[in-house]
A and B are shown apart, each in its own frame.
Chain A
Amino acid sequence: EAGVTQFPSHSVIEKGQTVTLRCDPISGHDNLYWYRRVMGKEIKFLLHFVKESKQDESGMPNNRFLAERTGGTYSTLKVQPAELEDSGVYFCASSQIREVLNTEAFFGQGTRLTVV
Chain B
Amino acid sequence: GIQVEQSPPDLILQEGANSTLRCNFSDSVNNLQWFHQNPWGQLINLFYIPSGTKQNGRLSATTVATERYSLLYISSSQTTDSGVYFCAVEDWYGNKLVFGAGTILRVKS
Q: Which residues of A contact B (CB under 8 A)?
A: 31, 33, 35, 42-45, 48, 55-56, 59, 89, 91, 93, 101-107, 109-110, 112
Selected from B30, B42, B88, the residue in CB contact (under 8 A) with A109 is B42
Q: Given A102-B30, A110-B41, do A48 and B96 touch, yes or no (CB 8 Å)?
A: yes
A102 to B50, CA, bound (A): 10
Query: In the docked arrangement, what's the CA distance between A59 and B1, Å?
Result: 13
Can you report 17 residue pairs joining A to B where beta carbons are below 8 Å apart? A33-B96, A33-B97, A42-B100, A43-B88, A48-B95, A48-B96, A101-B50, A102-B30, A102-B95, A103-B48, A104-B31, A105-B31, A107-B42, A109-B40, A109-B42, A110-B42, A112-B41
Please tell me if the beta carbons of B41 and A105 are within 8 angstroms of each other in the complex: no
Given the contacts A43-B86, A101-B30, A107 and B45 also touching, CB distance less than 8 Å: yes
B101 proximal to A (CB < 8 A): yes
Interface of A: prevailing SS: strand
Q: How many CB-defined contacts (below 8 Å) exist between A and B?
A: 54
B45–A104 CB distance below 8 A: yes
Residues of B within 8 Å of A, CB-based: how many?
Answer: 23
CB of B96 within 8 A of CB of A56, answer yes
State whether the Cβ of B64 lies closer than 8 Å to any Cβ in chain A: no
B33, CB-defined interface residue at 8 Å: yes
* Given A45-B98, A91-B43, A107-B45, 8 other A-B residues pairs in contact with their CB atoms under 8 A: A33-B96, A35-B97, A45-B97, A48-B95, A93-B97, A105-B33, A110-B41, A110-B42
Contact: A101 with B31, CB < 8 Å?
A: yes
**Residues B90 and A89 in contact, CB atoms below 8 Å apart:** no
